[in-house]
Amino acid sequence: RQAAGDRGQPDRADDFPLRSSVIVPIEVHGAVLGALVLSTEGDRELDDDDLDLAVEVAHRAALALENARAFQQEHQIAE
């Protein structure tokens, strides 16, 4: 929560001692809507299994966003 409140203060990144990270785009029809970021600290490093999981989660998030948009569009048409 605090990290979100500190946007625009890049020096705050030093407060998060990250060891390993994976960044995966959340895409719908070729448009990037956001990114999924997984990070670790301490001795844990992310591996190929973690990357596979991140890709799957990002894909599911994209499907959920696409469905929400379609529902919103249908709702607006119905109104």
* Per-residue tens of pLDDT for the chain, all 79 residues: 455 555 666 676 677 777 888 999 999 888 898 999 988 888 889 999 999 999 999 999 999 999 998 888 888 888 8
The pTM of this model reads 0.68
pLDDT at 36: 93
55-77 as b/e: b if 16+ CB within 10 A: eeebeebbeeeeeeeeeeeeeee
pLDDT at 3: 55
